[in-house]
Each structure stands twice: as structure tokens, then as C-alpha cells.
């Protein structure tokens, strides 16, 4: 037998996905987009079907010592709807698969589904199926979402052109800093259970970690303003990593300006408190579930006054150059750290 063994960390998550992708060329004409975008696109007449799936694992994606089960249920749906939003689609249905250990009571599972229910109501999505299994250790929740969009309105990661303006919704780095606060308070609690968690002043960022929202509101507003993005992705791994996806798949370079990247003041101050650089948290934090998209400069006037859309830079011709212009006007290459689950 061969002694060859390659560690998965050598490829990383994206390397592994690329490897799987290379072995499964598409053979059905109805598969319009396969692996590599926020959702797959399946031909079904004038309206295409969008499919995406995301799995949350206890101990990897959430820690039940600070993640209430209602919030977990809500988040599991929201992060899936976010991938449909990122295709400029509308989510319609979800299916949920659960693996549950005997640590969980009926009341606990009820709480989880209360959150699922709230998200289904908020995003107008129907729960139409799933699968339930026991688990040897920990809770696993896997959601698959089905969405739709008119065929000519689907926005992929690959459509950006040089000079297109890079837009980002909301603010970045908050979910990551919220997680740092929750982790710190957990350690404080473990060393002294009498201590009450001190999270009031961090309410906004903790909320961003525990209860993210899919930006379907932005999708509706862009449609109302007849502004069709040229490319789009949701920010799950971190701004820098998503910029690399847009740049690579659109075959253009990226230029962003540090002073344009939206960072909430609580995120900023908490980053300083934790001796972290706020811009690093915004670039690499992840789990913000905001939308990153590009528009043709001709569409800029349509959305330039939107209070929750920020213009952080633009695309350019040299696909090998992804750069950040710092506040001191220094040009630094962007690094795509993202999350590597195999580290």
C-alpha cells in the first residue's frame, strides 16, 4: 500500500472544493451553474431554480454555552437565505436535517424550531421536509434552501467588469468581535461561575454573531431602483476572501480603500480593547452575512444616497492585483485568509 498521505490543510477548504469540482464536469443542460457560486442555478423555464446548503456543527460553528437554541435555529435558516439573496433570488422553501444526541430534551428541540419558525416567517419561507437522526456526539443542523429568480436577473460571482464599483451593505467585523466577547465571557464564567456576564455594552456586536440576518431587504430595494448588480456574493468568510472570489471568477483585479470599509463604532472600540486592528477584523472576521456586489458606474446615481450601502472601491483590469489603499495612502496586497476549517 502507498504511504502517501496528504493533509487536507495543504489544500484548504477552497482547494478541496476545487478538486471535487474538477472531477464532476456538468453533463445536464439543465444545470446552468454548478459548484462555485453561492447557489447552484437550475434551468426551469423563465424562472431558474436556486439551490444552496449550509451545515452548522456544534463545537465548530456554534457553542451552546452561549448560543441560545432559538438563535441557532434562526441563524441556520438566515445563512441559507443569505446565499439565495447573493444570487439576487427569493427563497421559497427549506428542508432541514438534524442529528441530535440524547443530551437534548424535547424542550430544547422545541426552542430550536421556534427560531426556525421565526426565520421562516420573517423571510417568507416554507419548511417542506428534512431528515432526523441520532448523533453520537453533538448537534448537527443542515439546511438546504430552494429559491427562484427570473433567468435574466440572476447575479453570479463572475459578472464584474473593470471599473465596476464595489459596494458593501451594513457594516463588517461585528460578528467576529461579538464572538470574541462571547468567548471571553465564557472563560470568565468557567473560572468563576458567580460572575455575571458583562455584555450589555457589546449588545450590537453580540447580536450580530448570534442573530445574523440575510439582506433580502437590499435585494428588494435594488430591484425597486432598477439596479441590477453585475456580480454578487454574501460575506460569510470575510470581506477579503469574498473579494478574491469575485476577482477570480470575474477575471478582474480589486482595489478597495480602507477609509471606505464600514465598521460600526462598537466593533471598532472592541477591536482596540482586544488589541486587534479594526480593519483586520473587517477584512477577515467573517459571518457578517452582508452583501458584497459590483455595479456598473452608470447605476451609481440610483443607489448613491442609500444609507446602508457603502462604496468601498472598484474593479480594474489587472486580475493579478488585489489591493487595499490604507488611510496613509499606502498600497498593500490583500490577503485571502478566510476561515480554514482544516487548520
Considering the complex, state which of residue 215 and residue 255 has its C-beta at the smaller distance from ligand ADP: 215
Q: State residue 297 phi and psi, 5-degree precision.
A: -55, -25
Smallest distance, Å, CB 206 to ligand ADP? 23
Q: Does 35 bind ligand ADP (CB under 6 A)?
A: yes
Candidates 70, 73, 81, 83; binder of ligand ADP (CB under 6 A) is: 83
Q: Decide which of Mg ion, ligand ADP, none touches 299; Cβ closer than 5 to 8 Å per partner kind.
A: none
Q: Does 37 bind ligand ADP (CB under 6 A)?
A: yes
Q: Does 83 bind Mg ion (CB under 5 A)?
A: yes
The answer to whether the beta carbons of residues 255 and 314 sit under 8 Å apart is yes
The answer to whether the beta carbons of residues 39 and 89 sit under 8 Å apart is yes
Q: Does 8 bind ligand ADP (CB under 6 A)?
A: no
Q: Decide which of Mg ion, ligand ADP, none touches 267; Cβ closer than 5 to 8 Å per partner kind.
A: none
Q: Decide which of Mg ion, ligand ADP, none touches 185; Cβ closer than 5 to 8 Å per partner kind.
A: none
Site for ligand ADP in 270-309 (CB under 6 A): none
Candidates 8, 9, 17, 297; binder of ligand ADP (CB under 6 A) is: 17
Smallest distance, Å, CB 16 to ligand ADP? 8
Smallest distance, Å, CB 3 to ligand ADP? 26
Site for Mg ion in 273-302 (CB under 5 A): none
Q: Spell out the residues 6+ positions from residue 174 whose beta carbon is closer than 8 angstroms to its own.
A: 204, 205, 208, 209, 264, 266, 267, 285, 288
Candidates 37, 54, 58, 234; binder of Mg ion (CB under 5 A) is: 234
Q: State residue 270 phi and psi, 5-degree precision.
A: -70, -35
* β-strand pairing of 331-333 with 253-257: unpaired
Site for ligand ADP in 163-222 (CB under 6 A): none
Q: Decide which of ligand ADP, Mg ion, none touches 35; Cβ closer than 5 to 8 Å per partner kind.
A: ligand ADP
Q: Does 36 bind ligand ADP (CB under 6 A)?
A: yes
Which of 14-22, 60-68, 79-87, 160-168 is the region at the interface with Mg ion (rule: CB under 5 A)? 79-87
Considering the complex, state which of residue 263 and residue 292 has its C-beta at the smaller distance from ligand ADP: 292
Site for ligand ADP in 39-68 (CB under 6 A): 54
Residue numbers of the site for Mg ion (CB under 5 A)?
A: 38, 83, 234
Residue numbers of the site for ligand ADP (CB under 6 A)?
A: 17, 20, 35-38, 54, 83, 236
Amino acid at each position: 500500500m502507498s504511504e502517501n498521505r496528504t493533509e487536507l490543510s495543504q489544500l484548504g477548504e477552497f482547494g478541496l472544493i476545487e478538486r471535487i469540482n474538477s472531477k464532476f464536469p456538468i453533463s445536464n443542460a439543465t444545470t446552468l451553474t454548478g459548484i462555485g457560486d453561492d447557489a447552484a442555478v437550475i434551468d426551469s423555464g423563465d424562472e431558474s431554480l436556486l439551490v444552496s446548503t449550509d451545515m452548522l456543527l456544534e463545537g465548530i460553528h456554534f457553542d451552546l454555552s452561549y448560543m441560545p437554541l432559538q438563535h441557532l435555529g434562526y441563524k441556520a435558516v438566515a445563512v441559507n437565505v443569505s446565499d439565495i439573496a447573493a444570487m439576487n433570488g427569493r427563497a421559497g422553501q427549506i428542508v432541514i436535517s438534524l442529528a441530535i444526541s440524547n443530551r437534548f430534551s424535547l424542550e430544547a428541540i422545541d426552542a430550536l424550531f421556534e427560531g426556525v419558525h421565526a426565520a421562516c416567517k420573517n423571510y417568507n419561507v416554507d419548511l417542506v421536509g428534512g431528515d432526523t437522526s441520532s448523533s453520537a456526539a453533538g448537534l448537527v443542523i443542515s439546511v438546504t434552501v430552494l429559491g427562484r429568480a427570473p433567468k435574466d436577473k440572476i447575479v453570479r460571482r463572475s459578472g464584474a467588469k473593470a471599473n465596476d464599483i464595489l459596494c458593501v451593505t451594513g457594516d463588517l467585523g461585528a460578528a467576529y468581535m461579538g464572538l470574541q466577547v462571547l468567548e471571553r465571557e465564557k472563560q470568565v464564567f468557567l473560572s468563576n461561575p458567580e460572575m455575571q456576564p458583562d455584555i450589555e455594552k457589546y449588545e450590537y456586536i453580540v447580536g450580530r454573531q448570534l442573530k445574523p440576518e440575510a439582506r433580502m431587504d437590499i435585494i428588494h430595494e435594488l430591484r425597486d431602483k432598477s439596479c441590477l448588480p453585475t456580480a454578487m456574493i454574501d460575506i460569510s468568510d470575510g470581506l477579503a476572501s469574498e473579494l478574491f472570489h469575485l476577482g477570480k471568477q470575474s477575471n478582474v483585479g480589486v482595489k478597495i480603500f480602507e477609509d471606505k470599509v464600514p465598521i460600526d463604532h462598537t466593533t471598532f472600540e472592541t477591536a482596540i480593547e482586544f488589541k486587534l486592528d479594526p480593519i483586520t477584523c473587517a477584512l477577515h472576521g467573517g459571518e457578517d452575512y452582508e452583501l458584497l456586489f459590483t455595479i456598473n458606474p452608470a447605476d451609481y446615481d440610483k443607489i448613491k444616497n442609500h444609507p446602508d450601502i457603502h462604496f468601498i472601491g472598484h474593479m480594474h483590469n489587472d486580475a493579478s492585483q488585489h489591493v487595499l489603499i490604507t488611510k496613509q495612502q499606502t498600497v498593500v496586497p490583500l490577503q485571502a485568509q478566510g476561515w480554514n476549517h482544516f487548520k
